[in-house]
Amino acid sequence: MNDLLRMYELMAVIRRTEKAAYDLFMAGLVKGTTHLASGQEAVAVGASEALRDDDYTFATYRGHHHTIARGATPEACLAELMSKATGLCGGKGGSMHLTYAAGNMLGSYAIVGSHLPMAVGAAWSAQLRGSEQIAVAFFGDGATNIGAFHEALNLAAVWKLPVVFVCENNLYMEYTPIASVTAVANPAADRACAYNLPASIVDGNDVLVVRSAVREAAARARDGGGPTVLEMQTYRHFGHSRTDPATYRPSWEVEEWLSRDPLTIAAAQLSKEDVAAADARAEKVVAEAVEAAKAAPPAEGALTDVWADGSSTWRT
């Protein structure tokens, strides 16, 4: 299978997994909230394709795509969303905290910006070991206005650490246009120069373009060239969270971006037969995942795992 077809199929799996998450939510089988990344799949898949298996990635609460792109199964993700014992975190993390440590996907973080310094720490650990691993932090445009973003860029630059900072600029900080609350036009890329870091603005909906940009940044990091800031221009197909119909976005803008759907862009470079076959495989994988997740036993242990010994003993 050629690279593009493999990436297309992975994006198709992610798209369908998130559709399933939405349907399960509406059916009352997912509690809490979900933040769908539909429309942003190319960022996760293109970046993961550019990484070694032992490289580290950190994601945000909008992180389903980043988790599956690093090899977590749709079943384990959906089970986690449904708070099932077979979920990635035993059903205790939920949609916002998907973590697949076995695949070096070191977590999704729901406090905006908090994981950027963590990626710096993971990169530092690689540098201490001399392992040539790198760390990638994915974050939204909204994160660029919080202190942790700036602290992390400075730390990584000062210590010349192997980190790639990947901003998924989907134009909206939750419900507010990022342009209306940010002093620069390109919220991540325009800040990089303040930390003497190279930056690029990348078409985040073209998986091949994403892969190529991340490959270049990853190679620089691995060769001791330090961090890079990549700003991926993309768009979410849905609102910020499950309860947001996203009526604040003009319809022309939505239509323009829907016409640049990352799956469509990739499919246009593949044969119809290949695309149909990949779609069918993705459909089957996700349908099976839904059934398996539904059938899995519920999570247990609201009172366990507070401490490293597994207990929650609070009073002695």
Partner 1 sequence: MADTLTIGKALNLGLRRAMEDDPKVVLMGEDIGKLGGVFRITDGLQKDFGEDRVIDTPLAESGIVGTAIGLALRGYRPVVEIQFDGFVYPAYDQIVCQVAKMHFRSRGKVSLPIVIRIPFGGGIGAVEHHSESPEAYFAHTAGLKVVACSNPSDAYWMIQQAIASDDPIVFFEPKRRYWEKGPVDTDSAPFALHESVVTRPGSDVTVLAYGPMVRTALDAATAAEEDGRSLEVIDLRTLSPLDMVPVYESVRRTGRAIVVHEAPGNLGLGAELAARITEECFYSLEAPVLRVTGYDTPYPAARLEEEYLPDLDRVLDGVDRSFGW
| Interaction site with partner 1 (CB under 8 A) | 56, 89-94, 97, 99, 101, 106-107, 109, 111, 114-126, 128, 135, 147-148, 151-152, 154-155, 158, 301, 304-310, 312-316
Question: How would you class 125 by CB atoms within 10 Å of its CB: exposed for 0-12, middle for 13-18, buried for 19 or more?
Answer: middle
Nearer to partner 1, 121 or 187 (CB): 121
Nearer to partner 1, 5 or 120 (CB): 120
For residue 312, the minimal CB distance to partner 1 (Å) is 7
Do the Cβ atoms of 182 and 145 come closer than 8 Å? yes
For residue 284, the minimal CB distance to partner 1 (Å) is 29
Nearer to partner 1, 92 or 260 (CB): 92
Nearer to partner 1, 125 or 241 (CB): 125
Nearer to partner 1, 155 or 213 (CB): 155
Pairing of strands 176-177, 172-173: antiparallel
For residue 148, the minimal CB distance to partner 1 (Å) is 5
For residue 124, the minimal CB distance to partner 1 (Å) is 6
Contacts of 260 (CB under 8 A, 6+ apart): 205, 235
Do the Cβ atoms of 164 and 238 come closer than 8 Å? no
From the list 246, 69, 97, 221, the residue with the least C-alpha distance to 160 is 221
Amino acid at 8: Y
Do the Cβ atoms of 69 and 18 come closer than 8 Å? no
Q: What is the dihedral of CA 301, 302, 308, 312, to 10 degrees?
A: -110
For residue 114, the minimal CB distance to partner 1 (Å) is 6
Contacts of 128 (CB under 8 A, 6+ apart): none
For residue 128, the minimal CB distance to partner 1 (Å) is 6
Nearer to partner 1, 45 or 229 (CB): 229
For residue 149, the minimal CB distance to partner 1 (Å) is 10
Do the Cβ atoms of 68 and 13 come closer than 8 Å? yes
Specify the DSSP element, H or E, that contains 277: helix 272-295
Nearer to partner 1, 22 or 124 (CB): 124
For residue 143, the minimal CB distance to partner 1 (Å) is 12
Nearer to partner 1, 2 or 312 (CB): 312
Strand partners of residue 203: 233
Contacts of 256 (CB under 8 A, 6+ apart): none
C-alpha to C-alpha distances, 211 to 43, 44, 231, nearest whole angstrom: 8, 9, 13
